Structure 1
Amino acid sequence: MIKPFLFLLVCLAGPGALRAQPTPKKPLDHTVYDQWQSVGRQRISNNGKYVLFEVKPQQGDGTLYLKTVAGRALRQVSRGDSALFTADAKFAVFAIKPRYQDVRQAKIKKKKPDQMPKDSLGVFALGPGQLTKYADVKSFRLAEEASVLAFLASKPAVKDSLKKAPADTVKKITDRLLQTNKEGAQLTVLNLLTGRRRTFGAVTDYQVSKPGNKVAFAVAAPKGNKDPEIKSGLFVYDLAANSVRQVSAGKGVYKNLAFDDAGQQLAFTAEKHPEKALVKPFSLYYSDFRGDSARLVLGPGGAGLKKGWSPSGFGKVLFSDNGEKLFFGTAADPIPQDTTLVDFETAKLDVWNYKDDYLQPMQLKTLKKDLQRNYLAVAYPRQGNKFVQLEDEYLRDSFTAEKNNAEYVLAVTDTAKRVSMQWEGTTLKQAYLVSTRTGERIAINPKAAKSRFQLSPLGRYVVWYDYASKNWFSFAVATRKTTNLTAKTGVAMADEENDSPDDAQPYGIAAWAKDDAALLVHDRYDLWKIDPKTGAATNFTGGLGRRGKLIFRYRMAAEKQKFVEPKEDLMLLVQDETTKQWGYYKKNLASAGAPQRLALGPYGYSPLMQAKNADVYIYTKANVAQPADLYASRDFQHETKLSSINAQQKDYNWFTAELTHWTTPKGYAATGVLYKPENFDPAKKYPMVVYFYEKLSDGLYKYTAPAPTPSRLDIALFASNGYLVFTPDISYTIGEPGPSAVEFVNSGVEALKKNAWVDGAHVGIQGQSWGGYQVAYLITQTNMYAAAWAGAPVVNMTSAYGGIRWESGMSRQFQYEHTQSRIGGTLWEKPEAYIRNSPLFALPKVQTPVVIMSNDADGAVPWYQGIEMFTDLRRLGKPVWLLQYNGEAHNLVKRENRKDISIRELQFFDHYLKGAPAPVWLEKGVPAVEKGRNWGLEASTK
């Protein structure tokens, strides 16, 4: 029975008081990461009726979903990957990955690559809903315009024609095919509409024509081959005639197989030299299938080639759209290796020379690329063996128009201007038009300048942004006239908020109209429609962007053509600069009216993917509380939700996000984002961690899943576990990167501390790379932080200035003089600024416990910077720890290391901001003799 006093309380509380109370939501922990999902690869069929998308956990097996655009489920395939629709929207083709656990076990057993679990191939017929699978597939290719599929199997299968043969005969032939697999594999060509299938053994490379009428493939017959059906050479299978012809005979290496758009011409490079030859130059071959064999277009030492040059096996072979031109690469023959040299008696060194175009570390980083470097040339196979060399050592970077029938290619060079990259970070460039008919070179800018060039889709104009004048220009090929396109717009075309000692970056070109009639150019807010011939410009968005602080951007869907049709509706991605909300507006290219608002709200949107032949779009939409699910829509007013990921989120204490504003001591208006636990109670006090990197407030509506961090703060994990997380935007004063962080970060923290629910005595800071530097600087300027975590920090700008960014091989000088570090001068010009902004020289002031992550394979920040910080603070008797992940980069790559640092980071802040027991690694460390046996993650007993 209910006691009288309790009964009275129940009555006063109301009739619902005895109902079961909801179970409190769990805080996120380190065991939840793997199950969190994201929508991966997504495609919409050309007719806009079908959608496919992949849902992948962070670790484990994903699932491929096939649905109608209205959301009706057709099929889901475990581990489906790399999926595509056929052009006629009748089939979906995809790889099926091995089970994650099978791959894991194979790695544990240290199996060789050829013994690892293999992919399968899936073909799903969308009409009847039938799924067909093929085992052990290495690769597949789908005809761009037809339902023709070709795939290479790791283990050759028996040909269809042998299925009814006696068992012993089948076995003998199967054994013979397996023998060919030592140098090739089995190619299957399948017409998905008719079911006709052909298989070919010992194939090393293959290509499918765009209309799917032909498949070219190279065969390498193995040693001891006695099968008369397997011959080394290059073959073409004609699907309509169901016939095979050999277009090139003999052993060798066949590469760069290329059809023209109609599938009526084939070109390729090949070398057929003896195996022991020291130099094996390639030749270029061509066939129009009228003769028995492909003919030689150009061989080593051919007419018109430089002495010692040949067609390159590394250059891409490509026909022009009309099939008249054949683009390919040429290169100097490689220097033969001296086989008389003995390795252990040969000096090994790098010679640095001040006259080198590129520093030796840059040369070593690009060594593979440089060994494969080739120079564009063009041949006219229907005009005999005529060819024109377009590039050379001076002019080595060129670009063809989207419609590459154009007479000219655009070539850009920085030859003799490369040394200054060491301190400028970029080079001055000159641009030329090069005639594909004669090789004539027309200079666009007679004097090298800092510019960014591009060729219009039809090749009628060269357009570039000039950093000196801050304007866009055009060069008309027909008239050779240069026109300033943006001088009369009256607005800046480059970053209005640039706070680096470098030229402001342009907002960029959005798209071209058909026939090169106009181009769309972004300013800070709006788009401008500009005639490249005259420079006549109109504000395409009618100034709505600047008036309403709406940032309009247009990105053409990859599935569409490379230009905008004259009366096409453009879907414009928009962000409200004030509220940070995202959405889409629509405007027709020919319209003079204002853009039509379709959607704008508290969400973030992905770029649209549009059906090629229908006005149907798919996209992801998300905010802090709503995962990035996939949607389909025609107008954004009516949308179909296609995926539903992370249902488990409802069981966990999630978080909210809100903009916060304050005024800095110098009077600057400042903005940041404050993340709170979902169960936030204003009557309680919360510890706070401050995380920063340049400006992060545009991500207010970004969905952030809990994940083992490569280096950053896991906002979801910390907020779920009862922390406030604050991400202030920082604007910089040139020459004062450190004081700028103090101005914005500290003032933002002080503003938030005025709230009773902020535990001002327990505030921590975390940053990585540039943020890590600022953490190191901030703790030398104030003791207001109870704990700090600095990932890959620079603490000594004087020593870092002359270092190398090993991931690129570039000198670090440009970074300090022109870009992120923002000093704005050399070390000898502004030594006081380098010292003043270097935390190292103020380390005696530090009172904050700090953990440093500094990895020994960091390619961006020299890891000795972390060592300098650690050893100096250690000498000063300050509480400091250094985490050095072996063989790891600037940001952690290996998932096991990401999980480890996520655990340590939460342990560290829990100890100093919440009073949790210190783990062993904080209290006692992990001696080298215990490495790999003891990680020190358990609570210390002292």
Structure 2
Amino acid sequence: MHKYLLLLAGLASAPVLAQQAPKKPIDHSVYDQWQSIARQRISDNGKYVLYQVRPQQGDAVLYLKTADNKLLRQVSRGDSALFTADSKYAVFAIKPRFQDVRQARIKKKKPEQMPKDSLGVYALATGKLTKYADVKSFQVAERAPVLAFLGVKPAVKDSLKKAPVDTIKKITDRLLEVKKEGALLTVLSLATGQPRTFEAVTDYQLSKAGNKVAFAVAAPKGSKTLKSGLFVYDLASGELRQLSRGKGVYKNLAFDDAGKQLAFTAEKHPEKALIKPFSLYYSDFGRDSARVLLAPGASVLKPGWSPSGFGKLTFSDNGEKLFLGTAPDPIPQDTTLVDFEHAKLDIWNYKDDYLQPMQLKTLKKDLQRNYLAVIYPKQGNKFFQLEDEYLRDSYLAENNNAEYVLAVTDTAKRISMQWEGNTRKQAYLVSTLTGKRLAINPQALKSRFQISPNGGYAVWYDDAAKAWFAYSVASHQTVNLTQKTGVSFADEENDSPTDPEPYGVAAWTKNDEAVLLYDRYDIWKINPKTGLATNFTNGLGRQQKLRFRYHLPVEKQKFIEPGEEVLLLTQNDVDKTWGYYRKPVASTKVPVRLAMAPMTYSNVEQAKHARRYLYTKSSVSQSADLYVSTDLLHETRLSAINPQQKDYNWLTAELVHWTTPKGHVATGVLYKPENFDPSKKYPMVAYFYEKLSDGIYRYQAPAPTPSRLDITTFASNGYLVFTPDISYTVGEPGPSAVEYVNSGVEELKKNAWVDGAHIGIQGQSWGGYQVAYLITQTNMYAAAWAGAPVVNMTSAYGGIRWESGQSRQFQYERTQSRIGGTLWEKPELYIRNSPLFSLPKVQTPVVIMSNDADGAVPWYQGIEMFTDLRRLGKPVWLLQYNGEAHNLVKRENRKDISIRELQFFDHYLKGAPAPVWLDKGVPAVEKGRNWGLEVSSK
């Protein structure tokens, strides 16, 4: 054949050959490039969209587009983007290059030498992009195209984490520490393009209306041009006024809604003063200087109390009230004491409300604790203390003009948290007009209280009564909202020895006319005044096993408008598909289906002034891409991330059902390689926690694991992965796992394509416990991996969850461990469900991950399992990641464990050669130089 014809023939056949080429299995080198959508927003007019495409590691890209998918601009490393209220500009940070930050860290550069953020401003109509270098922070006015940003200022050394917890003054000083040197503040009206700059600024705040900016200045020592104090700049007039003079700490700058009032806290005490209480300042801009509204020692305050520097200042929407925090003055430190001559200890007392570890965990928060109060600047500084040490948690209504705030207390009822996990609470409505308190419930309840958006009702779910209640501010009457509905509003699938949780509140309608409550499937619309209830979703949910859920789609939306049409995120409880239904809030008709598919949908975000929706959807084989639509029937796809997926062997997912030995109908998910061949045999790994089947259509990007099984990577590499749902019997958490996991595996083994001799199990935390228990009950598994397992419930029962400082007892008596009684009431159940006492039966090789900074599970539980199996001569390995928590946080550690997991199961389930760490181990003298990941040489 002619050479030219041969060349054409070769070119013609090349695409066919390429299409027939086998796809690659995923390996550990691909993680960093896998992308996700983040920080998506739609402009208020619905015409523009922005979103970030973020790799797992590396530089993100910000995309600015029209709603019909026309690309306006892509910005490398764009982050934290916002649209201005007039929908004319996008404002965003521009992060340093990943490699630049990496090199700076390698060179151990100081914080002030690290690469800095920039700021970008993009004009949507003209396409002009303006950049500003070295920006520390920025603010965009809520209702105007006005921007303020602060340059980078010298770093403040944060030594708080290293501070000795016994020296309260040292910690307090660090909490209040501000760098005396300020930075350059730029204020810019985007409409006019006119900037104004101010030097030595330490803090700033734009008004919502964008008409003013307030800022604090710390003038350098000896400066002849700058003055320390608090200033306000009027953008319209260009007037700059100094409202407060003198060096000090200025905090909590707050404008009212219209930008016509300003409040802030400040202390101007000498640097060496032992106590530095704050004062509350106020200005309506009618005087040259801000006046002191509330000073330390004021007669309206409790003796020894002052305005708090940590309390957030908030004006009511009508500008009449100013909410603030007050607090006792800190106890002065005795500076004559010599630190090394005094004992350092923690004293545990059985009468303490909170265990000492909990107190130490919340020490910083407690030092900043302040108590809500209200003051009326326009009414002679009328003042009421709303909270105090007894009543210290309160909630403002969305309409903060409302008379009452809801306050909740568990004071003197906290010790039972040790074994119940939560506390009983009493709730009050506290008047902002008189300070008077109205008790809602005379006896403490296991409840969660909330206040309606307009402030007309307090609502709560009573765990014991298993019902929702509402208390009317107007009538002082309590109404049972759910007793006449005939359905349960508590978790119908609860299998723990504790009161079931409620399904929750969906939303309120305008003026508190109705509250929307969830049952398992449907949404109920209930009048909080009368208790009159109607099934908003017309019973369609329970009839067709559809779970209807709703969230307010517009940012900062407070309630559902009367004429609004709501979009209901829906999951079919049987086949696990997701989609959306719609229904006008005033309609009595059945919700109309818009979409249902084997996909996962996000909540929708709606443009503030247009009927246009932004959302993501994904499937097991399709990344979560971004879509825009006006009705969810016709949509425009805005992104197409992870095109590289087509080159890799992916996975499929299917629901499986079986009947357990006790006759329970069970459900699980079976993941298969995309190139699955039923004529072949495949090893299988079972991964489980409690129930995972609802996530069958969730996209699972290959990623280094925090300790779980990377299902996608395992399936891509020729494994079947089985995730069985587990239901529990109280007192039998271990046998329940046996009932569901083992029976599900046995059912799948009936298929000729399952290699029954090569099945592994993997679990983390509660799943790790179940792995440890399962291998004491059967030898059917060829390999097991247990992350952060508890193996001895008798010793773990009295331990501490160091992450929170809370006792572990509640977990065993009431929640996940499901024993249902104390160690002394049911010792046989603690022993029977503890794998430790049955370890001699183990024949399965097992790897344990147990990290020395685990704050959830005592890491010595993993040591117990390892040393006892070692004593018994069983094949066991322990991975202890230094300084790591319950789930791995550091990416380098996540990558490491991902490699080791696949190596381990490849060896025992596929016959691959053992790596050095598995075969010979890595001695301490080689730590940091040899990781033992290479194949062992015999």
Same-fold call, TM cutoff 0.5: yes
Within 1, Cα distance between the matches of 2:797 and 2:180? Answer: 52
How many Å separate the matches in 1 of 2:222 and 2:353? 50
Q: Hey, what does 1:161 align to over in structure 2?
A: none
Answer whether contact 2:906 2:912 (CA < 8 A) is retained.
Answer: yes
Does 1:882 pair with 2:885? no
Does structure 1 residue 58 correspond to structure 2 residue 60? no
1:155 to partner: Cα distance? 6.6
* Alignment CA distance shift 1:20-1:807 (3 Å): closer
Q: Which residue of 2 aligns with 1:406?
A: 402
Q: Which residue of 2 aligns with 1:11?
A: none
- Residue matched to 2:142: 144
The yes-or-no answer on 1:389 pairing with 2:397 is: no
Once the two structures are overlaid, the 10-residue window that deviates more, 450-459 or 321-330, is: 450-459
Q: Structure 1 residues 786-795 or 379-388, which shifts more? A: 379-388
- The answer to whether residue 634 in structure 2 is matched with residue 667 in structure 1 is no
Classify the secondary structure of the residue corresponding to 2:353: coil
Asked whether the equivalents of residues 554 and 607 of structure 2 are also in contact (C-alpha less than 8 Å), the reply is no
Which aligned pairs between 1:122-141 and structure 2 lie closer than 5 A? 122-141=120-139
Residue 817 of structure 1 aligns with an amino acid whose one-letter code is E
Q: How far apart, CA to CA, are the structure 1 residues paired with 2:502 and 2:646?
A: 43
Query: Which residue in the other structure is 1:486 paired with?
Result: 482
Look up the SS of the partner of 1:290 in the other structure.
coil
User: Deviation at 1:20?
Assistant: 6.5
Cα deviation for residue 558 of structure 1 reads 4.7
Partner of 2:235: 239
- Please say if 1:734 is aligned against 2:730: yes
**Secondary structure class of the residue paired with 2:776:** helix
In structure 1, the residue corresponding to 2:547 is in which secondary structure? strand
Residue aligning to 1:170:
none
- Which of 66, 72, 75 aligns to 2:73? It is 75
Q: Which amino acid aligns with 1:277?
A: A
Deviations 1:596-615 (A, max 9, x none): 11100110011111111111
Q: Which residue in 2 is equivalent to 1:463?
A: 459
Question: In the alignment, is the contact (CA less than 8 A) between 1:485 and 1:535 conserved in 2?
Answer: yes
Mapped partners of 1:364, 1:18: distance in 2: 66
How far did residue 844 of structure 1 move? 0.1
- Aligned partner of 1:98 in structure 2 is 96
AA matched with 2:24? K
Kept in 2, the 8 Å contact 1:183–1:221? The answer is yes
Q: Distance in 2 between matches of 1:836 and 1:57?
A: 46
Give the conservation status (yes or no) of the 8 Å contact 2:89–2:124: yes
1:531 aligns with 527
**Offset at 1:640?**
0.6
Match of 2:896, as an amino acid? D
Aligned to 1:510: 506
Q: Which amino acid aligns with 2:63?
A: Y
Equivalence map 1:168-567=2 (5 Å): 183-226=181-224, 228=225, 230-567=226-563
Give the equivalent residue in structure 1 for 2:8: none
1:752-796 CA distance string (max 9 Å, x none): 000000000000000000000000000000000000000000000
For 1:568, which of 564, 575, 578 is the aligned residue?
564
Give secondary structure in 1 for the equivalent of 2:838. Answer: helix
What amino acid is the match of 1:110?
K
Name the residue aligned to 1:28: 26
Distance (Å, rounded) in 1 between the aligned partners of 2:664 and 2:41: 45
Q: Distance in 2 between matches of 1:81 and 1:87?
A: 18
- Offset of residue 17 of structure 1: 14
1:864-879 matches, cutoff 5 A: 864-879=860-875
Task: Spell out, residue by residue over 1:517-564, the C-alpha distance to the aligned partner (whole angstroms, 9 max, x if none).
Answer: 001000000000000000000000000000000000111125152100
Which whole-Å CA distance do the structure 2 matches of 1:29 and 1:674 have between them? 21
Instruction: Give 1:386 deviation, angstroms.
Output: 1.6
Task: Judge conservation of contact 2:798–2:807 (CA < 8 Å) in 1.
Answer: yes
Measure, in 2, the Cα distance between the counterparts of 1:155 and 1:489: 60
Name the aligned partner's letter for residue 384 of structure 2: V
Q: Deviations over 1:461-497 (max 9, x none)?
A: 1111011111101110011011000000000001001
**SS at 2:646 equivalent:** helix
1:710–1:891 contact (8 Å) kept in structure 2: yes
CA distance in 2, matches of 1:930, 1:335: 51
Counterpart Cα distance in 1 of 2:215 and 2:136: 15
Which of residues 754, 757, 764 is equivalent to 2:760?
764
Tell me the CA shift for residue 224 of structure 1: 2.2
Give 3-state SS (helix, strand or coil) of 1:780's partner.
coil
User: Which residue of 2 is the match for residue 610 of structure 1?
Assistant: 606
Deviation at 1:16, TM superposition (A): 12
8 A contact 2:207–2:255 mirrored in 1: yes
Spell out, residue by residue over 1:274-333, the C-alpha distance to the aligned partner (whole angstroms, 9 max, x if none): 011011000001000000000000010002111110000000000001000000000000
Q: Find the aligned partners of 1:48 and 1:787 in 2 and give their Cα distance.
A: 54
- The TM-score, its normalising length taken from structure 2, stands at 0.96
Deviation of 1:25 (Å): 0.5
* Residues 249 and 824 (structure 1), Cα distance of their counterparts in 2 relative to 1, 3 Å cut: same
Distance 1:878 1:155, change over 3 A: closer
8 Å Cα contact 1:136/1:155 also seen in 2: no
Aligned counterparts of 1:632 and 1:319: Cα–Cα separation in 2? 36
Match of 1:160 in 2: none
Residue 105 of structure 2: aligned partner: 107
Task: Find runs of 4+ consecutive structure 1 residues off by over 3 angstroms.
Answer: 15-21
Output the amino acid matched with 1:436: T
Separation of aligned partners in 1, 2:113 and 2:411:
48
Aligned mates of 1:483, 1:252 — CA distance in 2 = 52
Q: Matches of 1:568 and 1:301 in 2, distance apart?
A: 51
Could you tell me how far apart the structure 1 residues matched to 2:443 and 2:901 are?
A: 53
Which residue of the other structure, out of 36, 41, 61, is the alignment partner of 2:39? Answer: 41
Secondary structure of 1:382 counterpart: coil
Query: 1:479-516: per-residue Cα shift (whole Å, max 9, x none)?
Result: 10110000000000010010000000000010000000
Equivalent residue for 2:84? 86
Q: Shift of residue 635 of structure 1? A: 1.1
* 1:643 corresponds to 2:645: no
Deviation of 1:385 after TM superposition, in Å, equals 2.0
Structure 2 residue runs of 5 or longer lacking an equivalent are: 2-12, 155-177
Summarize the Cα distance change of 1:560–1:639 in structure 2 as closer, same or farther, 3 Å threshold.
Answer: farther
The answer for the alignment partner of 1:163 in structure 2 is none
Pairwise mapping of residues 758-837 of structure 1 onto structure 2 (< 5 A)?
A: 758-837=754-833
Q: Is the 8 A contact 1:181 1:202 kept in 2?
A: no
Could you tell me how far 1:343 is from its partner in structure 2?
1.5
Aligned residues: 904
Instruction: Please report how far the alpha carbon of residue 408 of structure 1 lies from its aligned counterpart in structure 2 after TM superposition.
Output: 0.7
How many angstroms apart in 1 are the aligned matches of 2:15 and 2:194?
A: 71
The answer (yes or no) to whether the contact 1:627–1:646 under 8 Å persists in 2 is yes
Question: Which amino acid in 2 is paired with 1:208?
Answer: L
Residue type matched to 1:139 in 2? Answer: S
Rounded Cα–Cα distance in structure 2 between residues aligned with 1:144 and 1:790: 49
Say whether the 8 Å CA contact 1:560–1:612 is kept in structure 2: no
Question: Could you tell me whether the CA contact under 8 Å between 1:181 and 1:201 is conserved in 2?
Answer: no
Structure 2 contact 153–181 (Cα < 8 Å) conserved = no
2:903 is matched with 907
Cα distance in 1 between the residues matched to 2:223 and 2:724:
69
The amino acid that maps onto 2:708 is R
Q: Percent identity?
A: 79
Contact 2:450 2:460 in 1 (8 A): yes
Q: Distance in 2 between matches of 1:231 and 1:256?
A: 20
Separation in 2, partners of 1:105, 1:466: 56
SS in 1 for 2:864: helix
Q: For structure 1, which runs of at least 5 residues remain unmatched after alignment?
A: 2-14, 157-179
Contact 1:631-1:639 within 8 A present in 2 as well? yes
Between the aligned partners of 2:565 and 2:444, the Cα distance in structure 1 is 39
